[in-house]
Amino acid sequence: MREVSELDGVGPQVASRLKALGIIREVDLLLHRPLRYEDRTRIVAMNRVRPETRVQVEGRVMHQEIVQRRRRMLLVTLADDAGQITLRFFRFYPSQLRMFRVGNHLRCFGDVRFGPQGFEMAHPQCQVLGTGEPPPLPKHLTAIYPVTQGLAQATLAKIIDGAVERLLSGIIELPDPLDGTIDPGLVEAVRQVHRPGPDADLDALIDGHHPAVQRLASEELLAHHLALTRLNRARARQKAHPLEPDQALDAKLLDVVGFEPTGAQRRVIAEIAADLNTSRPMRRLLQGDVGSGKTLVAAVALLAAAASGRQAAIVAPTEILAEQHYNTLSQWFAPLGIEPVWLAGKVKGKARREALERLAGDAAVAIGTHALFQHGVEFRDLALIVVDEQHRFGVHQRLALAAKGSEGERSPHQLVMTATPIPRTLAMTAYAGLEVSVIDELPPGRKPVTTVALSQGRREEIIDRLRRALAEGRQAYWVCPLIEESEVLEAQAAESTAEELSAALPEFTVGLIHGRMKPADKQQVMDDFSAGRIELLVATTVIEVGVDVPNASLMMIENAERLGLSQLHQLRGRVGRGSAQAACVLIYKPPLGETAQKRLEVMRETTDGFVIAEKDLELRGPGEVLGTRQTGMMRFRIADLARDAELLEPVKGLADSLDTAGADIVIERWLGDAEQFVDV
């Protein structure tokens, strides 16, 4: 299968953007699922347009005028035989004024609203039609894809469309080992997902209950199942170095941290110690709600490796999180004579050479990001890997981890930690082959975060409340709307909110952090916030996981109705870590849909992560669209464990029906290089 970089029209820059979306091979284009669809297959007569719909109309420009209301705007009247509609533009260029010259014939697509002059469209996409035959309408619905920074929807759609075209005309071949076992066939399913007919069941396509989506989801789950089965078989033959805890060292650590472990922490520490002290590699998942104290548990495990004269590494998915671990753990370990090695992507030159030397030499503990497992990093004797916030890592990284430190039949112990509570039934699949430990108790003295939901109409009141809290010396987060389709827009929203809030709260220092900033800049902002130099931190969802600033006791979440329960829970978990009574304000945009209303209710009623996880499953019925970004679980391209739980049993049957060659094809399609799963 070709890589996208070999395709016409895909230069290195586009290729790197595609890679950010997980699209590396041509086949990945076919497996990139649309977020939604637009119906450009028909022209709607102007007396038939309805508010709150997206439609396509065709008509002649009757009138054009620039008016000065609160803002300058361009108003265009467009008419067909049946009626007329107003086009409204708040931003416009001279070329547009020419486009909307009276008498021009236009085709426009956009959202319809009811305005002062009847039906109108704000900023529709328009095309001038010549005098001859209008260009033909598409025969199928137009797919809208999730994009990423620097990659336009139109560019991505064109590249995907090319791949779909090659598939349908037989230029790309997709071998289908499940042919005849499930309906529809693979090629047909791909076609229906990218080019549904005008009468397709759109709700089902978007929420994923459509047979075509289910067909692809089944195959994806099958790929994971097959891969994990192979890994587990290989693992059954692996050995590990037993790691023996040193009681005196453990006691010293507890002395340094200055608090008593909770009963739950003691229990899981014992479970892990027992696993580590055998010659079978540990594969354990540690689940513990945000703030439950997983770091201490990790520290005790790392110590067991150090005490046995071997090495341990802890990795986090982002530099912010990794650095936070580094700060905490170097403090805790210093009195024990252990000096951890720090390695992240930004560590370069001499510092990096020194880090690498220590890893190959006498270092006992390494802390960092994935940079720890990249090519060229050699450990002397890596015996334990701790992975924090696992749900941020894909299967791929998990495999790379498993490979690292493996030597012949010997493999390091692995501890995987997550704050995402996963209902048991799903945990079995999401983390197949892992033993599970749970911290089901929070450290004493935590007061549950009080939560209120307020309509955005009360913004001034909310800002007042914020002002009073900041004046009391508290620190706050303000999280900005998540915009599914684009990181760029999300960052822009955060930027303009930060401006608005600094203007409204001139007496306080407002900081800004979002995913498009350089790691060093992010780190600077987090440091300033931790040190109290920033009082209000405006953020996108980059702060979702793991960040620990105990003095922050107020969490404002804008457009809370757009976020899933697990994400709201993660965000709220950023506060309530210190002694002050913490509060969370969910700001929503009315009117609230039924599910959104229930979600906000759940958030007000409970702070228990497991209750929230169960409710999350319950609430995600048909009609609810939750992108992968919102689920917080392991990332699949198409499958969604909450939605597709009932596919899991049949998938096992499918697995039995495949021979090795068939299994190779399926694994390779969804997970890439099948070699790494081979159970030799």
Work out which of 124, 245, 293, 576 binds ligand ADP, going by CB under 6 A.
Answer: 293
Q: Rounded to whole angstroms, how far apart are CA atoms 41 and 60?
A: 20
Q: Which stretch binds Mg ion (CB under 5 A): 112-120, 213-221, 249-257, 545-553?
A: 545-553
Site for ligand ADP in 538-557 (CB under 6 A): 548, 550
> Any contact of residue 546 with Mg ion (CB under 5 A)?
yes
Task: Mark the segment that binds Mg ion (CB under 5 A) among 7-15, 407-415, 429-437, 539-547.
Answer: 539-547
In the complex, least distance from residue 652 CB atom to ligand ADP, rounded to whole angstroms: 33
Residue nearest to ligand ADP (CB): 293
* Minimal distance, residue 33 CB to ligand ADP, in Å: 32
- CA dist 467 → 336, 446, 451, 513 (Å): 44, 24, 18, 20
Nearer to ligand ADP, 325 or 620 (CB): 325
What's the burial of 430, exposed, middle or buried (CB within 10 Å: 0-12/13-18/19+)? buried
Tell me the CA end-to-end span of the chain in Å, nearest whole number: 25
Binding mask 259-278 for ligand ADP (x = CB under 6 A): xxxx--x-------------
Nearest to 198 by CA among 140, 147, 256, 149: 140
CB of 26 to ligand ADP, least distance (A): 40
Output the smallest distance, CB 251 to Mg ion, in A: 23
- The rounded distance, in Å, linking the Cα atoms of 99 and 124 is 13
Rg (CA), the chain: 27
Distance (Å, whole) CA 609 – CA 569: 7
Indicate which single residue of 577, 615, 620, 643 sits in contact with ligand ADP (rule: CB under 6 A).
577
Report the DSSP beta bridge partners of residue 208.
Answer: none
Does the footprint of ligand ADP cover residue 627 (CB under 6 A)? no
Phi-psi region of 241 (alpha: psi -120 to 50; beta: other; left: phi over 0): beta
User: Using CB distances below 5 to 8 A depending on partner kind, what does residue 323 bind out of ligand ADP, Mg ion, none?
Assistant: none
**x/- map, 385-424, ligand ADP, by CB under 6 A:** ----------------------------------x-----
Rounded to 5 degrees, φ, ψ at 474 are -85, 160
- Taking CA atoms, 74 is separated from 77, 89, 97, in Å, by 10, 5, 8
> Binding string to Mg ion for residues 489 to 518, with x set by CB under 5 A, is what?
------------------------------
Q: How far is CA 390 from CA 24, 233, 420, in A?
A: 23, 22, 9
Residue 566 contacts ligand ADP per CB under 6 A: no
Nearest distance from C-beta of residue 292 to Mg ion, angstroms: 9
Instruction: Identify which of 624, 573, 634 has the alpha carbon closest to the alpha carbon of residue 598.
Output: 624
317 binds, among Mg ion, ligand ADP, none (CB under 5 to 8 A by kind): none
User: Among residue numbers 232 through 261, which ones bind ligand ADP (CB under 6 A)?
Assistant: 259-261
Phi, psi angles (nearest 5°) of residue 94: -55, -35
CA distance 216 to 220: 6
- Nearest-approach distance from CB 258 to ligand ADP, in angstroms: 9
**Nearer to ligand ADP (CB atom), residue 548 or residue 668:** 548
Which chain residues interact with ligand ADP by CB under 6 A?
259-262, 265, 288, 290-296, 419, 443, 548, 550, 577
Residues that bind Mg ion (CB under 5 A): 546
